[in-house]
Structure 1
Amino acid sequence: MSRAQHIYESLIEALRNGTYAPGDRIRAEDVARLFDVSRTPVREALSRLQERGLLEMTATGLAVARLGRQGVHELYALRELLEGAAARFAAQHASPSDVQAMRQISDAFEATQGNPARAAQINRAFHDALYEAAHNRFLTVSLAGLHDTLMLLPSTTFAVDGRQDKAVVEHRAILAAIEARDPDSADAHAREHIRSARDARLSMMFEY
């Protein structure tokens, strides 16, 4: 692995674990010092992150990108399409073990009431299991890139009153459609699930 690739992946992980938050400055000299390298591989890594929309140039320099209302709408519009496709493919291709895994995770999610952070972790596991059940590696790659951009959003929508309860019902509906081998229904329920998440996100960020 090249130095630039190592730095790039390390910064992605730092975004995932919250070391860097939206709006935080990212200085090339600080990153170079952290990894004990010259600025050349650092600039390459930062350029890649900027190309992906994870960093942006501000009046004070390079910083972790902030998503405005339009950006949130665009992000969730794409997520709705991809999650719907994943559910559709899962209804067509999921194995019994795939369905069982989703069922177990769905049950675990229902036990997270009152713990938004834990709910977010289990919810991600549910969606990862859904992507596995779709059995489409190209869709999985697209969704992985999308989830990197979701790191730019603050906190979790499960902190919104009633969101966990609604998500329980939505997960059940998606899973029931997959078990029934009904692609249209699975697609529709997955899209509804993401639209609900979008509305909760907008209410958190913009008093929507």
Structure 2
Amino acid sequence: MSQTTRPNKDAYTLILEAIDVGVYKPGDRLVESDLAERFGMSRTPIREALQRLETQSLLARDGRSLIVNSLDHNQMAELYVVRGELEGLAARLAAHHATNEEVRVLQDMVEADKARVDDPSALARSNRRFHKQIHLASHNRYLVQQLDLVHRSMALMATTSIAVEGRGEDTLVEHQAIVDAITARDGDAADAALRAHISTAFVTRLKQENSE
């Protein structure tokens, strides 16, 4: 069954979003005809989008098929190092450049997430929106572009660290600390709070990996 698509979203964006929200997980095979039917478009833009995603290493070859790629331990560790650096910078810049309205949105997002604390999937989606809002609040287009690339690669992890028991509550506490620092216009504190948040998420994910 095809789904209604927004006219301003191309095949690349639609497939990327489907990977990001877990419709397609690492190891899943992507078939042109199935994707064309799902998104209600011809196979040509689907084929071009798949080629682009393969070039970006988000998809990998498995014989003649394309599958959603996955990250090994070293790739995951490297990604978290880069993410911590860039996210910390975004928080620092947001503390200096975010408008009062953007700060209010961040505060409202943390408050709204209290109702999602027992729903890991919903909280994971909200978590992505929260981080994206900080990126935008940095008011640095080049940093936002680089963070978009990082977060695309984050989608190649099969599970979210927020699903670990107790991680939802901790995530909200950490998000509040980040927002408090941005609200206080304290760049050093915002940077440190976000780096600590990413570090804790990495430790949680490492524990997940070791328990599997």
User: TM-score when scaled to structure 2?
Assistant: 0.83
CA contact (8 A) 2:85 2:195 kept: yes
Stretch of structure 1 that moved more, 58-67 or 192-201: 58-67
How far is 1:42 from its partner? 5.1
For 1:205 and 1:54, locate their aligned partners in 2 and report how far apart those are by CA, in whole Å: 20
CA contact (8 A) 1:89 1:135 kept: yes
- Deviations for 1:24-64, whole angstroms, at most 9, x for unmatched residues? 223457657875445xx655432311121101123564311
CA contact (8 A) 2:58 2:69 kept: yes
Candidates 137, 142, 148, aligned match of 2:146: 142
- Deviations for 1:45-102, whole angstroms, at most 9, x for unmatched residues? 3231112110112356431101111121112111111110110001111221111111
For 1:183 and 1:36, locate their aligned partners in 2 and report how far apart those are by CA, in whole Å: 48
Amino acid at match of 2:72: G
Number of aligned residue pairs: 202
1:67 to 2:68 alignment? no
Stretch of structure 1 that moved more, 113-122 or 23-32: 23-32
Q: Structure 2 vs 1, CA of residues 187 and 42 (structure 1 numbering), >3 Å: closer, same or farther? A: same
Aligned to 2:107: 103
Aligned to 2:14: 10
1:89 to 2:100 alignment? no
For 1:194 and 1:23, locate their aligned partners in 2 and report how far apart those are by CA, in whole Å: 25
1:22 to 2:29 alignment? no
Which consecutive residues of structure 1, in runs of 5 or more, have no partner in the other structure?
none
Write out the 4+ residue segments of structure 1 that deviate beyond 6 Å after TM superposition: none
Stretch of structure 1 that moved more, 22-31 or 119-128: 22-31
CA contact (8 A) 2:91 2:191 kept: yes
Aligned to 1:48: 52
- Deviations for 1:101-133, whole angstroms, at most 9, x for unmatched residues? 111111112332211122112222221221222
Aligned to 1:203: 207
User: TM-score when scaled to structure 1?
Assistant: 0.84
Stretch of structure 1 that moved more, 59-68 or 71-80: 59-68
Q: Structure 2 vs 1, CA of residues 58 and 37 (structure 1 numbering), >3 Å: closer, same or farther? A: closer
Alignment of 1:137-176 (within 5 A): 137-176=141-180
For 1:10 and 1:114, locate their aligned partners in 2 and report how far apart those are by CA, in whole Å: 28
For 1:111 and 1:29, locate their aligned partners in 2 and report how far apart those are by CA, in whole Å: 39
Alignment of 1:108-127 (within 5 A): 108-127=112-131
CA contact (8 A) 1:113 1:119 kept: yes
CA contact (8 A) 1:7 1:45 kept: yes
Aligned to 2:198: 194
> What secondary structure, in the 3-state scheme, does the structure 2 residue paired with 1:18 have?
coil
1:179 to 2:195 alignment? no
RMSD over aligned CA atoms reads 2.4
